[in-house]
Structure 1
């Protein structure tokens, strides 16, 4: 199966052909995938070199001229390194762009901590007006990329990952979907965490929701689910643990509830190993999730 990032250049290259507003700005990373598109549209495919602050600044400048810029590099260089430009060049100037990342939390462990960005979504949460998509399969990534580019002049972040569920699901860039219904709590699986969550909860009487668009957070879907399954909620995210707990708490602010946020821990893992080893070390494999989810949702007094 191809990866989400494998879909990125072909999809956006087609959008460059279809829509004269679309532009692409690269910081060296991913340039080979756009070689043909650059030959066809040299004025709308720009490689600024390894200058991530300029990447965002140039994108904002293109947006000010009326174009729809798509900016791409590794998550740590797209959100963290040029955060001031994301905050000011896009946010303060009130212009939109589509930020499309690669590498996510620890997709390339050999790259070391410089290439890891589990806090990217939490960092964008400090800013106003961002839509955040976290696809869990290449088919979903393609759909959400098209949604993002077509979203007027909005500020959109699309978080691509090499981690993937076995199959894609119908996503619309807005709603959280119910995958399984139960009465003993609600588990929200974000993006590529769905398969592990389904394995972990196979013997648990819980509702499983699937979220690929986490900002805006689908508060209505969570509220509906808790009406039948109870207000014990577990969020399982491929990014920093607790990233969406505040959003879930806001959704249930008028009812007693408990929320547990599971995700990537804050401690740096210096023996980088493999992606699967990182998942296990952060307690995001199916076995660890089964224990953590079950322990949290188990009724008081249960053995």
Structure 2
């Protein structure tokens, strides 16, 4: 099976052919995949070199001229390094772009911590007006990429990963999908952690929701699920643990509830290893999730802190 990033360049190349507003900005990373697009659209495919602040600034400039820029590099170089430009050139100037990242939280451990970005979604949460898509399969990535480019002049972040679920789902880019129904709590699985969550909750009487669009957060979908399954909520995200806990609390603010936020820990893991080993070390494999979800589900409400 191809990866989400394998799907990225062919999809965006077709969008360049279909829509004269679309432009692509690169910072060396990924340029080889756009050779055909550069030949056909040399004025709308720009490689700025290893200058990530310029990458975002140039995208904002193109947006001001009426173009729809698609901006691509590793997440740590797309959100963290040029964050001032994301905040000011896009946010303050109220211009739109589609930021498409690769490497996710730890997809390329051999690159070291400079190439890891578990805090990217949390960082964007400090800004207003961003839509955030976290596909869990290449087919979903294609759907959400097309939706992002077509989204007028909105600010959209699409988080690609080599980690993938075995099957893609039919998405509308807005609502959570109900994958399994139960009566004892709700587990929200974000993007590529769905397969691990399903394995971890096998035999548990829990509802499993699948989220690939996390901003805006589908508060109405979560509330509907808790009406039948109860208000114990476990949130499993493939980035910084607890990133969306506040969104869950806001969705359930008027009812007693508990929430457990699982994801990537803050402690830096300094051995390279593989992304599977990093996932296991952060408790995001099926075994680690089963242990923590089971412990949370088995804790009486009176002994746990209420949200």
TM-score by length of 2: 0.97
Equivalent residue number for residue 62 of structure 1: 62
Structure 2 counterparts to residues 49-198 of structure 1, below 5 A = 49-198=49-198
Is 1:16 the counterpart of 2:41 in the alignment?
A: no
Equivalent residue number for residue 42 of structure 2: 42
Is 1:245 the counterpart of 2:245 in the alignment?
A: yes
Going from structure 1 to structure 2, the CA distance change for 1:263 and 1:155 (only over 3 Å counts) comes to: same
Q: 3-state SS of the aligned residue for 1:60?
A: helix
Runs of 4+ in 1 over 4 A off after TM superposition: none
The separation in 2 between residues aligned to 1:295 and 1:55, in whole angstroms, is 45
Unaligned ranges ≥5, structure 2: 302-307
Deviation sequence 1:80-116 (CA, Å, 0-9, x none): 0000000000000000000000000000000000000
Unaligned ranges ≥5, structure 1: none
Deviation sequence 1:111-132 (CA, Å, 0-9, x none): 0000000000000000000000
Q: 3-state SS of the aligned residue for 2:254?
A: coil
Deviation sequence 1:144-176 (CA, Å, 0-9, x none): 000000000000000000000001010111110
Q: 3-state SS of the aligned residue for 1:248?
A: helix
The separation in 1 between residues aligned to 2:167 and 2:5, in whole angstroms, is 16
Equivalent residue number for residue 263 of structure 1: 263
The separation in 2 between residues aligned to 1:27 and 1:17, in whole angstroms, is 21
The separation in 2 between residues aligned to 1:14 and 1:7, in whole angstroms, is 11
Aligned-residue Cα RMSD (Å) equals: 0.7
The separation in 2 between residues aligned to 1:104 and 1:280, in whole angstroms, is 16
Is 1:224 the counterpart of 2:246 in the alignment?
A: no
The separation in 2 between residues aligned to 1:298 and 1:218, in whole angstroms, is 27
The separation in 2 between residues aligned to 1:298 and 1:191, in whole angstroms, is 26
Deviation sequence 1:160-205 (CA, Å, 0-9, x none): 0000000101011111000000001000000000000000000100
Q: 3-state SS of the aligned residue for 2:71?
A: strand
